[in-house]
Amino acid sequence: MALSVPKAPGVAQMLKDGARMYSGLEEAVYRNITACKEFAQTMRSAYGPNGMNKMVINHIDKQFVTSDAGTIMQELDVEHPAAKLMVMGSQMQDAEVGDGTNFVVIFAGALLEAAEELLRLGITTSEIADGYEKALEKALEILPKLVCHEIEDYRDLNKVGECLKAAIMSKQYGQEDFLTELVAKACVAILPDQGTFNVDNIRVCKILGSGLSKSEVVHGMVFKRFVEGDITCVEKAKVAVFSCPIDIIQTETKGTVLIKSADELMNFSAGEENLLESQIKSLADAGIKVVVCGGKVGDMALHFLNKYNLMAVRLNSKFDLRRLSRTVNATVLPRITTPTNEELGYCDKVCVEELGGTTVVVFRNTGKDARISTIVIRGATDNFMDDIERAVDDGVNNFKCLTRDGRYLPGAGATEIELASQLAVYADTLPGLEQYAVRKFATALEVFPKALAENSGVNGTEVVNALYLAHKKSTGKNIGFNIETEKADTIDVTTTQVFDLFQAKYWGLKYAVGAATTILKVDQIIMAKRAGGPKPRQNAGSDDES
């Protein structure tokens, strides 16, 4: 009989074999802080316009070359539970604002790095967490006073462009003027008079070839497809949208037809043909010029579509069908019937165009009631176009936020240094041990101008000192780091229009502090043994067969 070895008393006794448990400062807290610090350090070198690219190869061997933090974190399958909390905070920022994902990770990492020093001095995690929360409260109180720019007319292309420029510059430095113009044009064209702006209404179509300067905005939708019939261009067209194939109707159940003579055979096929022709003729009689379907177009149907001069477009994606129906203001019908006037859509021009060897079908709506805009991106490689798409996505999300709250803060590290200066003064007024945490919170904010400087090849400490010196003056709250120079130089960001979205900073601070305090309050990590697991492989031949 096997000797049963009793388990050690305590929590280990309650868990399955193979379960691991870490507790206390050394095993749990410091271990979590180290993992988060390293993760934040990785993301820090990708911050700002001069941030370095990361080459990520994901689990299905797809390669990404980008400095976009959201994409990097999405494709890096982060396993460490504490680092995962930071990623979750970053994802919340992405869902709320759509920009500033790197801000959350870098700041949370800096706060945890500062907390480690305080823990070694003997301050408890709860006191540090309380201090951070007090500092956050004060920072959110100061933030509205630092607003340096506000946009009121969302339809003014120049003013919108000024606000979006910095967000796009951080992804595509050097191309920002051209891309800002594209994004502003696309967004303003579909901004509704009432209701909210929908990000999904800005589509991106990537076509290989030529260069970025050949990219354009199309008021409508662009599909990388070819039309089914002979008609390739129609103007001022009524559009019918069907989610079913355009073909001879199949019966729901199997049936047997007994045909006794050649005449009966001829009449049988003629009946099917006549039914299909009458359906397509009724569409033509209703004034419809374009038929869009979600399935195949049969040969017989194609013959009748050409006969009645109808353009046929096939879209395999149900999401594309929905978007197109929104573009042309049509209703998607489940079967081939003649649409009513309310169900019909309208498009100014539907035509086939060729861009760099790629054939596309373009639905253009030039009127004021355009609902969807498409940005056609041209480029030499897929990776380059993917990166441009991410910059466009950031710009569109910024536009969405500015329509809700048009306030902007000074960028280039100016807001962070001003907050750090005021929080350091606030820390001196606190009586308890929280003052040390508030002071460290202020120091952690310095990580942003430092990262901007170091990624630009300038000494970070010199830049921070120069910024503090400038912010001591009463007029210095808009002074930030000048990335155009090769030395530690400062500039008034209102002259260069480097603005940061108020919403992005507000939520970024909240989520970063939330992630950092949650990680700090963890004192035990219990990793239970996973149930199940892979089954043992069996031999090909079993004992019964032998």
Residues 99 and 91: their CA atoms lie apart, in Å, by 10
**What's the rounded mean pLDDT across residues 180-188?**
84
CATH code of 485's domain: 1.10.560.10
pLDDT tens sequence across 86-137: 888 888 888 888 777 888 888 888 888 888 888 888 888 888 888 888 888 8
| Predicted pLDDT at 8 | 57
| Predicted pLDDT at 546 | 39
Q: Is 35 contained in some domain?
A: yes
| 436 and 513 part of one domain | yes
| 135 and 230 part of one domain | no
| 361 and 395 part of one domain | yes
Pick the more confident residue, 134 or 68.
134
Range scoring the smallest mean pLDDT among 8-12, 246-250, 274-278, 303-307: 8-12
What six digits make up the tokens of 431? 């009586």
User: Is 471 in contact with 417 (CB distance < 8 Å)?
Assistant: yes
Strands 407-410 and 499-501: antiparallel
Place of tokens 């009458």: 278
pLDDT higher than 70, residue 529:
no
pLDDT tens sequence across 208-217: 877 888 888 8
| 339 and 486 part of one domain | no
Q: Burial of 546 by CB count in 10 Å (0-12 exposed, 13-18 middle, 19+ buried)?
A: exposed
Question: Phi/psi of residue 349, each to 5°?
Answer: -155, 130
* pTM of the shown model: 0.79
Share of the chain above pLDDT 70, in %: 88
pLDDT higher than 70, residue 296:
yes
| 489 and 427 part of one domain | yes
CA torsion, ordered 461, 463, 467, 470, to nearest 10 deg: 120
pLDDT higher than 50, residue 182:
yes
Ramachandran sector of residue 262 (left: φ over 0; alpha: ψ -120 to 50; beta: rest)? alpha
**What's the rounded mean pLDDT across residues 387-403?**
84
Q: How many domains does the chain have?
A: 2
**What's the rounded mean pLDDT across residues 174-183?**
82
Strands 358-364 and 345-355: antiparallel
**What's the rounded mean pLDDT across residues 36-60?**
81
| 379 and 424 part of one domain | no
pLDDT higher than 50, residue 265:
yes
Which long-range contacts link 453-462 to residues 24+ away (Cβ below 8 Å)? 453/481, 453/488, 455/45, 455/47, 455/48, 455/50, 455/51, 455/52, 456/48, 456/50, 456/483, 457/50, 457/486, 458/485, 458/486, 458/487, 458/488, 459/488, 462/488
**What's the rounded mean pLDDT across residues 407-428?**
84
Q: Burial of 3 by CB count in 10 Å (0-12 exposed, 13-18 middle, 19+ buried)?
A: exposed
| 224 and 337 part of one domain | yes
| Predicted pLDDT at 4 | 57
Domain end among 349, 374, 404:
404
Bridge partners, residue 238, by sequence? 288, 346
Give the pLDDT band (50/70/90) at residue 45. confident
pLDDT higher than 60, residue 535:
no
Range with top average pLDDT, 4-8, 105-109, 117-121, 539-543: 105-109
Give the pLDDT band (50/70/90) at residue 545. very low
pLDDT tens sequence across 216-249: 888 878 888 777 877 778 888 888 888 887 777 6
**What's the rounded mean pLDDT across residues 180-200?**
80
CATH code of 239's domain: 3.50.7.10
Q: Is 331 contained in some domain?
A: yes
Task: Find the distance separating the first CA and the last CA of the chain, reported in whole Å.
Answer: 33
Range with top average pLDDT, 182-186, 190-194, 524-528: 182-186
| Predicted pLDDT at 188 | 81
| Predicted pLDDT at 11 | 60
pLDDT higher than 80, residue 69:
no
Across the chain, what does the average pLDDT equal? 79
| Predicted pLDDT at 47 | 83
| Predicted pLDDT at 1 | 47
| 15 and 119 part of one domain | yes
Q: Is 226 contained in some domain?
A: yes
| 398 and 454 part of one domain | no
Q: If residue 360 lies in a helix (H) or strand (E), which one and from where to where?
A: strand 358-364
Domain that holds residue 56: 11-148+410-527
Give the pLDDT band (50/70/90) at residue 542. very low
Q: If residue 241 lies in a helix (H) or strand (E), which one and from where to where?
A: strand 233-242
pLDDT higher than 50, residue 165:
yes
Share of the chain above pLDDT 90, in %: 0
| Predicted pLDDT at 335 | 79
What six digits make up the tokens of 109? 């990492």
Domain end among 338, 372, 404:
404
| 235 and 317 part of one domain | yes
